Chain A
Amino acid sequence: MHILYLIFVDPFVQMVHAPDLLMQTLWDGLVGGVLYALIALGFVLIFKASGVFNFAQGIMVVFAALTLVGLHEHGVPAFVALGLTILVMLVLAFGVERLMLRPLVNQSEIILFMATFGLTYFLIGFGQLVFGGNPKVMIADDLYLPSGAIEWKGHFGFVSLQKIDIAAVVIASIMVAVLAVFFQRTRIGRALRAVADSHQAALSVGISLEQIWVIVWFAAGVVALTTGIMWGARSEVSFSLQIIALKALPVLILGGFTSIPGAIVGGLIIGIGEKLGEFYWGPLLGGGIENWLAYVIALGFLIFRPQGLFGEKIIERI
């Protein structure tokens, strides 16, 4: 009986008694959710264009952030370094298209997927060779990202909003909106969807596969850079950041691999859900449940919508 109380009653009693902690949890969940959505977006863009799950998205986050900080360490002013890093991500997109994707046109998806494994290990090795394995401090101040916190104190307790988190939410939201409009409403967006449906059909109507791939890999690179800056500012820039990218997996399962709105909604559900779960129900299981709770939430949704919340229902003839 007591365990039922702890599961079904006590968490809600806590929410009422300490509304500041509830608000803080919701805010932290929202921030985490937006950042997860940003990571998931990088996966979605590439999946839409090539039908491949880009395993290298995580290391692209690290590589982009390391390039930015590494250039700055060599005396390049922050915003010039930012521009150069965007250029590096463009070069990477060209390189991936020329050296990896072009030779694999019309190969099965698993071949492309394995190629992204190769890209991951290449970027890990190349990154370590160029920048070393030492963690680096993100140049948040030089990029004029805010620091400090806004604190609300009152009879309900206090809620602390980190200014960097507010900036992360604003920047990520703008980026998600711009990309959503770009890929949903523009000619390139339509071309992208056509490529995703069928390489051969897209080619037959004059769509340049090469161009589309460069655009989406570049967009995924810019998303990776933004993610790297935001997560790096919250902690440090190191190779362990690539693990964070795996948090996008439940988001993708939930939102669907092909849906930009799915990435956003999925990110928010996972972000807020895992924080609430960890904070109110985690202590019952000894804590540290956040790691797997995201997958449980995603699987819960999958029971009712196997294609994800916004994923396309794929019917294949056998």
Chain B
Amino acid sequence: MRLSYIALGLAVATAAPLAAASAQAAELYIPLFTYRTGPYAGSGIPFSNGMDDYFTMLNERDGGVGGVRINAEECETGYDTKKGVECYDSTKGKHPIITTPFSTGITLQLIPKAAVDKVPILSMAYGLSASADGDQFPWVFNPPDTYWDGASAFIRHAANVEGGFDKLKGKTIGLVHLDAPYGKEPIPLLEALAKDYGFTLKLYPVPGAQMQNQTSLWLDIRRDRPDWIYLQGWGAMNPTAIKEAAKIGFPMNRLVGNWWAGNDDDPRPAGAESKGYLSLDINAVGTNFPAIQDILKYVVDKGKSQVTSKDKVGENFYDRGVLNAALIVEAIRTAQRLSGKKEVTGEDVRRGLENLNITAARWKEIGLENFATPVKLSCADHNGHNLISVVQWDGTKWQKTPETLEPIKDKVLPLIQSAAESYAKANTGWPKRTEACDKSS
């Protein structure tokens, strides 16, 4: 009798960890580097909510992806690069299948680690523009557009309004940017375009400590009288910039934010004065999509979301978070199809990303028809350089304009290639690509 108890005890003791390990493995672990606190929380919160809620919805509605539940775990970075790297190191042991740094500064630090740890980075429409080059950066993906695509699309918009690229000659274009890696990213492209099209580029850096104290900078702008301003700001910098622009009477329809300067809370504090402000966009706004209706049904209505009120669902940055999550999920599905496994690894997801092909029909299938541009990646092209839409603030919410802008690819692509090669040269020992390409990509 005693022996049978001992045997049973031993069996339980050995089986329990195995069962736990098995239960632990039956999930797709995705660490989400988010910032719900600190000076940049205003931009970070809606995006994080959108990502979280999409994953939760899939778990609740479908039981995960391909029957495997998603374990999306947030790690608070406060938009601080040091904390972001700590988040990466602390989650690395849990076998993440993808990294989403949600900060250009953090992305830059993690790029060299991705190939070593075999965890792909998805820096959706942020990060290092040059990492769109899949030959040099096989582990980094930044669809649907790089910051250089965005800046070139802005120049195209300015040219459209002025009556052609030749009309840009002699104009002054200002870049109001956060004085951080994210804000500085479009500078090389704009400098190249300034040479090609003959406009003068003026830079207006905003140090982090001066985000809410921009009076002098806008007085400079009043003196310089630029014809256009491109805003590459983040967090509290954007609403302050829009308010200051209104204060000096800068025409709102000539102030164009990049897609990260298009949060609903960016123009809102300026009230009626911000009417007409433009922002580039890479996703639709609103809740009129079956997938977002499912988020409301399965997540928000059941109290499983962190949104403070239901009307936050469908705001621009919330939907941006949904887009980020949808890209991850589609990469996982592709990885599951290619590998024949349900519990995919980082290496599988890298292949999935490289073979990502979300057509208009596929967006419809997943309940997000016309939500974003079709995305097709390949071994060489990790971005797609897709069409960019333009939204305009009507005083209370964003309205989509009929304009869609194609990046100036003949300028952007050669610059990306040369920048990627320079990066590889500058980082001694940068590995040559050894990862095989699937035939489909």
Chain A interface residues toward B at CB < 8 A? 18, 21, 24-25, 28, 31-32, 124, 128, 132-135, 137-138, 147, 149, 160, 162, 231, 234-236, 238-241, 243-244, 246-247, 274-275, 278-279, 282-283, 286-288, 290-291
Contacts and interface: CB of A to CB of B under 8 A. Distances in A.
Contacts of A231: 212
Given A133-B41, A160-B249, A275 B235 contact: no
Given A134-B265, A274-B216, A275-B216, 18 more contacts: A132-B45, A132-B308, A134-B308, A137-B268, A160-B249, A231-B212, A235-B269, A236-B236, A239-B41, A240-B236, A279-B219, A279-B223, A282-B216, A286-B203, A287-B217, A288-B206, A288-B207, A290-B216
A147 B40 CA distance: 26
B324 interface: no
A240 B212 contact: yes
B207 A234 contact: no
Contacts of B248: 160
Contact of A135 (B207, B243, B265): B265
Contacts of B239: 135, 235-236
Contact of A133 (B38, B205, B210): B38
A21 B219 contact: yes
Contacts of B219: 21, 24-25, 28, 275, 279
Nearest to A28: B215
A149 to B, nearest CB: 7
A22 to B, nearest CB: 10
A159 B207 CA distance: 26
Contacts of B203: 286-287
A27 B208 CA distance: 24
27 contacts: A21-B222, A25-B216, A28-B219, A133-B38, A133-B44, A133-B45, A134-B42, A134-B308, A135-B236, A135-B265, A160-B247, A234-B243, A235-B236, A235-B239, A236-B239, A238-B39, A238-B235, A240-B38, A243-B209, A275-B219, A279-B219, A279-B223, A287-B204, A287-B217, A288-B210, A291-B209, A291-B210
Contact of B243 (A133, A235, A238, A288): A235
B211 A240 contact: yes
B152 interface: no
A68 to B, nearest CB: 15
B13 to A, nearest CB: 41
Contacts of A246: 209
B378 interface: no
Residue from the set A21, A28, A241, A288 with the largest chain B CB neighbour count within 10 Å: A288
Q: How large is the interface on B (under 10, 10 to 19, 20 to 34, 35 or more residues)?
A: 35 or more
Nearest to A238: B236
B68 to A, nearest CB: 32
B212 A241 contact: yes
A36 B304 CA distance: 43
Interface string B186-228: 0000000000000000011111111111011101101100000
Interface in B232-264: 235-236, 239-240, 243, 247-249
B41 A28 contact: no
A21 B271 CA distance: 26
A235 B207 CA distance: 16
B42 A275 contact: no
Given A137-B269, A162-B247, A234-B243, A239 B38 contact: yes
Contacts of B269: 135, 137-138, 235-236
B45 A134 contact: yes
B359 interface: no
A290 B209 CA distance: 10
A133 B206 CA distance: 22
B220 A287 contact: yes
Given A132-B308, A160-B248, A240-B211, A278 B240 contact: no
Given A28-B219, A234-B243, A235-B269, A287 B38 contact: no
Contacts of B210: 288, 290-291
A244 B215 CA distance: 13
B36 interface: yes
Nearest to B240: A235
A243 B39 contact: yes
Contacts of B212: 231, 234-236, 238, 240-241, 243-244
